[in-house]
Amino acid sequence: ALEKKVAKSKVGEKVGLPCCHEIPSSDSLHNYRVYWQKNTTEVVLAYAEGKKISNHERYENRTEMDIRNLTLWISPVEILDNGSYQCVVQHLKFPQNPVVVCDEPVTLFVTADFSKPNITAEVSANSCESTEMVVRCSSYGGFPKAKISGTCNNVSVVWNASWVSESSFSLYNVTGELWLNVTKDIRITCSIEYNGFAKTTSLLLRKTNDCIVPTVSPTYNVITASSIIIIIFLLAITLAARYLLRHVCSHCYKSQDPVEESVKECTKTPVSSKVTSETSSV
């Protein structure tokens, strides 16, 4: 009974909507009046006494009915075919007073496949600690309106989703957006779910910056202080060198004085000898 109430099909396929009555082999369609209508107001196809008496122009050349189980076949299925249908069967044993044999609805769910989700990532900011990314997941050309979901390293995430469609019975495009602060490599998955169908794709996002810490230039005060220290150090070395040089030289002069005195003493003319010579001459 549940199968007779619900039917599913994709755009472009062929689908059969089951009716609530089946004509027995001992009977004939000539004894019945069958109405297939949509939303209780639009007659899709109608038969009376075995002959077609009505066919909606939108279903022209796309519909036919089985003369035994009264199934309504639609091919190719369009998005506008989505909705509720009703099979009304009347028996004409007494034409002036037809008897309603059955009157039950059946719902047709039409779907159009969305494209496989496409994930893209764009770096919005970068630092040593993290990489800020805008992640987008897009899928196109599906029906009905899809639900978008996903995970980040197996943890559920909520996409900021938007849908674009010309009308409630047109193909949908869906786009989801995430803002992520990536501190390590992560895997993002995106799933598009519509009318019991689902398509999923994934993407590995890598942290783009290896965090190289730049060398900090010394400040003006540091440079000034360093220069003063170096100058003082050089002056200290210079003064020490001059002091050592003077000390060594003065030691050398002191060592040479006795020798010079000895030489002077040796070169002096003896006074006593000169006096003696003069005396002898006299």
Tens of pLDDT, residue by residue over 20-58, are 999 999 999 999 999 999 987 889 999 999 999 988 889
- Write down the pTM of the prediction: 0.64
Domain ranges of the chain: 5-111, 118-205
Domains 5-111 and 118-205 share a fold: yes
- Which pair of tokens denotes residue 278? 């003069």
Name which CATH class applies to 5-111.
Answer: mainly beta
**Average pLDDT value for residue range 158-181:** 93
* DSSP character at residue 58: G
**Which of the four CATH numbers 3.40.50.720, 2.60.40.10, 3.50.50.60, 3.30.70.120 does domain 118-205 have?**
2.60.40.10
For residue 222, pLDDT beyond 70: no
For residue 131, pLDDT beyond 50: yes
For CA atoms 27, 29, 30, 31, give the dihedral sign: positive
Which residue type does 130 have? S
The beta-strand segments (E) located in the chain are 6-10, 15-17, 32-38, 42-48, 51-55, 63-65, 72-74, 83-91, 99-111, 118-126, 131-142, 147-152, 155-157, 160-164, 172-182, 186-194, 197-205
Report the percentage of the chain scoring pLDDT > 90.
54
Other beta carbons within 10 Å of 21: 19
Tens of pLDDT, residue by residue over 79-96, are 999 999 999 999 998 777
For residue 279, pLDDT beyond 50: no
276 confidence band (pLDDT: 50, 70, 90): very low
CA gap 276, 279 in Å, rounded: 5
Peptide bond into 98 cis (omega under 30): no
